[in-house]
Chain A
């Protein structure tokens, strides 16, 4: 048995939208503490770790821990239809579907068939990040959108004073400078830089609209970790770098 209710669908909508393009299908584990989705994209470039605590829901009931095999692309298209309606989620284990109900003046019910997912063990590298910067998510998402105008990749760089988000393209360059004072926290043990594909980042920043802050863990030519957090939810990404040529 599992059922949950969300008066405001936003948090679920945005977080699924941020991951469904990278990860087609995944096992979502449901425990008494909430929902957890941890998966790598098929190309092994990005790792997603989504945690929705039970407190994020208005109602949350589960008898015993279970794993739901979800086609995230399907789920995303369904959630896009939610509008601002309240969402009810219920497992129909007899028919192996997840019932997703949108409630307003009418009640709309979608059946999402559950799928088989192979639970492969994620071999995630252990990383030491020399820099950790926490900024308002809006700054990050705007910079990424700026970079998209000129290139398909972006460089993240920090020194003792600033965070730089820059992109170089055939048609021009862009650089966004975020001074230390604008950051909520700024721990930089040494200046470092890494380059990343915008193809992945542009999906990740979709989480910006629901998060209160984003913490960026950066190093030299190593993956970047980005934690988008609110009080009751955390969406964390690990993204492998591109190696700069020349």
Chain B
């Protein structure tokens, strides 16, 4: 099918603001696609270029796009672009490596752009910048797939969590049907989306949530997923990126897990000589590094705390209770690799344990329902986190140049949360507090790479950098698109371990707003 048909569908979807209408248009469109076109089309419409589980990217910056936009090189082909052509171009662009690859990427992008009509061009750029803005979130697309394939939404959701590839889920649903989807299960060396915790308002409240619960230290570290088969170990980050090479000592530690095959989850933290945790930023240094690992291994040693197990010797454990999963974990792992944990419903005991966690340099506690199954990718009340202060994970969508001492830096950041309905980012405040000089410098450099537009004082960026923000209060605001404003917002850390769908939702802000008087009473 011609690519033009796809972008015309995007236009139509964008113009219809009603979600049900969007779903109807999409579901109709999905049914007209050939099997091989489904994955490309589905990913394109939802604003991603590659499936999440593949950790690939085009790696072309604003400068390249600008240059390519100005150039006038024609191609030899006169046939219109097809949906499959788009997939081919993206694949070829991302696979260029090594010497001369920059130029080759440019030529490929150039070729794509020169073959595209103005409307197609508009959508290619939107897609490259991650700015689709047609109001189709992953959830909306899943509903459209469900409608087109007559399959249950929960079944589709579960398949997506195991595969991490929306395009492939759509293809299987539409071509192979229910049987195909049911075959999808947790598989060694394919990362699955982690189960997530909701923020609890207080320890008291959290303890009342479940019949039986375990309390664990909430480590101030990075979550990882370990996949092991015999001597082969692969480690994935929370964003499903393969980080095995940066973490050789964790690979070694993983080998001490007794079973032949295992998928386990844990948290790693960086520690100093006395065993106290380093701030989060040091840990991130280890994650990104692929060179000089041996030296860093010495200066930033890591510690692993396992807390869950999802797969053992060919058997999926996600449908087992947390109580049973932990028991298994205890049996097969050395004790010093396990997270600190107690089982209690007693507030006094819980408070003491919370105090212990904070004193040891960690963030707070996780409170987990012992009867709960592991639901990949789901954020819910089965797991709760309790911290000493409430924070939001917001994404930076624009930044202003600083004044005075900060003149050279982008230092005032526009923060946004995600509208869970449309997938768009809604502004919720600005802040210039919380970063040190080095971080300002880093931030400026990174934001410039993400620049989409600029005026005299403000640059607009592709939403990518996520920051944890502390604040004193949430207020109603007519100024910001979210309808809310954060008072005294301050960046508490840069969350390089989170991906864009981890950005907190407008719904959470609404809840926090409604809850906050209750809070305040508690904390004041």
Proximity string of chain B (46-88) to chain A, C-beta cutoff 8 Å, 1 when within and 0 when not = 0000000000000000000000000111111111000000000
State whether B76 touches A242 (Cβ < 8 A): no
Which of the 9-residue segments B104-112, B268-276, B427-435 touches chain A?
A: B104-112
**Contacts A123-B79, A125-B78 known; A42 to B92 CB distance under 8 Å?**
yes
B115-129 contacts to A, CB under 8 A, are: 115
Which of the 9-residue segments A44-52, A96-104, A183-191, A209-217 touches chain B?
A: A44-52
Distance of A243 Cα from B71 Cα, bound (Å): 9
Distance of A223 Cα from B107 Cα, bound (Å): 17
State whether A123 touches B77 (Cβ < 8 A): yes
State whether A124 touches B72 (Cβ < 8 A): no
Does A244 reach chain B (CB closer than 8 Å)?
A: yes
Most A CB atoms within 10 A — which of B74, B78, B110, B111? Answer: B74
Chain B nearest CB from A166 CB (Å) reads 17
Does A40 reach chain B (CB closer than 8 Å)?
A: yes
A23-47 contacts to B, CB under 8 A, are: 40-47
Distance of A47 Cα from B104 Cα, bound (Å): 16
Partner among B78, B79, B107 whose Cβ is within 8 Å of the Cβ of A45: B107
Distance of A115 Cα from B471 Cα, bound (Å): 58
Which residues of the other chain, A, contact B108 by a CB distance below 8 angstroms? 42-43
Chain B nearest CB from A129 CB (Å) reads 14
Distance of A45 Cα from B115 Cα, bound (Å): 11
Chain A nearest CB from B228 CB (Å) reads 32
Which residues of the other chain, B, contact A241 by a CB distance below 8 angstroms? 74
Distance of A47 Cα from B72 Cα, bound (Å): 18
Which residues of the other chain, B, contact A41 by a CB distance below 8 angstroms? 107
Which residues of the other chain, A, contact B107 by a CB distance below 8 angstroms? 41-43, 45
Which residues of the other chain, B, contact A45 by a CB distance below 8 angstroms? 73-76, 107, 111
Nearest neighbor of A46 in chain B, beta-carbon distance: B76
State whether B75 touches A43 (Cβ < 8 A): yes
Which residues of the other chain, A, contact B71 by a CB distance below 8 angstroms? 242
Chain B nearest CB from A221 CB (Å) reads 8
Which residues of the other chain, A, contact B110 by a CB distance below 8 angstroms? 43
Which residues of the other chain, A, contact B79 by a CB distance below 8 angstroms? 123
A209-246 contacts to B, CB under 8 A, are: 223, 238, 240-245
Which residues of the other chain, A, contact B115 by a CB distance below 8 angstroms? 44
Does A197 reach chain B (CB closer than 8 Å)?
A: yes
State whether B104 touches A240 (Cβ < 8 A): no
Which residues of the other chain, A, contact B77 by a CB distance below 8 angstroms? 44, 123, 125
Chain A nearest CB from B75 CB (Å) reads 4
Chain B nearest CB from A228 CB (Å) reads 19
State whether B76 touches A238 (Cβ < 8 A): yes
Chain B nearest CB from A19 CB (Å) reads 15
Chain A nearest CB from B287 CB (Å) reads 33
Distance of A28 Cα from B107 Cα, bound (Å): 24
Partner among B72, B103, B104, B111 whose Cβ is within 8 Å of the Cβ of A44: B111
Distance of A244 Cα from B74 Cα, bound (Å): 11
Chain B nearest CB from A50 CB (Å) reads 17
B412-439 contacts to A, CB under 8 A, are: none
Count of chain B residues with a beta carbon within 8 Å of a chain A beta carbon: 17
B370-416 contacts to A, CB under 8 A, are: none
Distance of A123 Cα from B104 Cα, bound (Å): 22
Nearest neighbor of A44 in chain B, beta-carbon distance: B75
Nearest neighbor of A122 in chain B, beta-carbon distance: B76
Partner among A42, A47, A125, A197 whose Cβ is within 8 Å of the Cβ of B73: A197
Partner among B76, B92, B103 whose Cβ is within 8 Å of the Cβ of A47: B76
Distance of A197 Cα from B103 Cα, bound (Å): 13
Which residues of the other chain, A, contact B72 by a CB distance below 8 angstroms? 242-245
Which residues of the other chain, B, contact A125 by a CB distance below 8 angstroms? 76-78
Chain B nearest CB from A34 CB (Å) reads 25
Chain B nearest CB from A156 CB (Å) reads 15
Chain B nearest CB from A17 CB (Å) reads 15
Nearest neighbor of A239 in chain B, beta-carbon distance: B76
Distance of A40 Cα from B472 Cα, bound (Å): 61
State whether B104 touches A124 (Cβ < 8 A): no
**Contacts A42-B92, A123-B79 known; A243 to B111 CB distance under 8 Å?**
no
Distance of A197 Cα from B75 Cα, bound (Å): 12
**Contacts A42-B108, A43-B111, A45-B111 known; A242 to B73 CB distance under 8 Å?**
yes
Most B CB atoms within 10 A — which of A42, A223, A244? Answer: A42
Chain B nearest CB from A148 CB (Å) reads 15
Chain A nearest CB from B140 CB (Å) reads 34
Chain B nearest CB from A29 CB (Å) reads 21
Chain A nearest CB from B164 CB (Å) reads 27
Distance of A44 Cα from B108 Cα, bound (Å): 8
Chain A nearest CB from B349 CB (Å) reads 63
Which residues of the other chain, A, contact B104 by a CB distance below 8 angstroms? 42-43
Distance of A124 Cα from B78 Cα, bound (Å): 9
**Contacts A43-B111, A45-B111 known; A242 to B92 CB distance under 8 Å?**
no
Could you list 15 further interchain pairs (A-B, Cβ under 8 angstroms) beyond the known A44-B76, A243-B72? Answer: A42-B104, A42-B108, A42-B111, A44-B75, A44-B77, A45-B73, A45-B76, A124-B76, A125-B77, A240-B74, A240-B75, A240-B76, A242-B73, A244-B72, A245-B72
- Listed by A's residue number, 7 A-B pairs whose Cβ atoms lie within 8 Å are A41-B107, A42-B107, A42-B108, A43-B75, A125-B77, A199-B103, A244-B72
B interface residues (Cβ-Cβ under 8 A, vs A): 71-79, 92, 103-104, 107-108, 110-111, 115
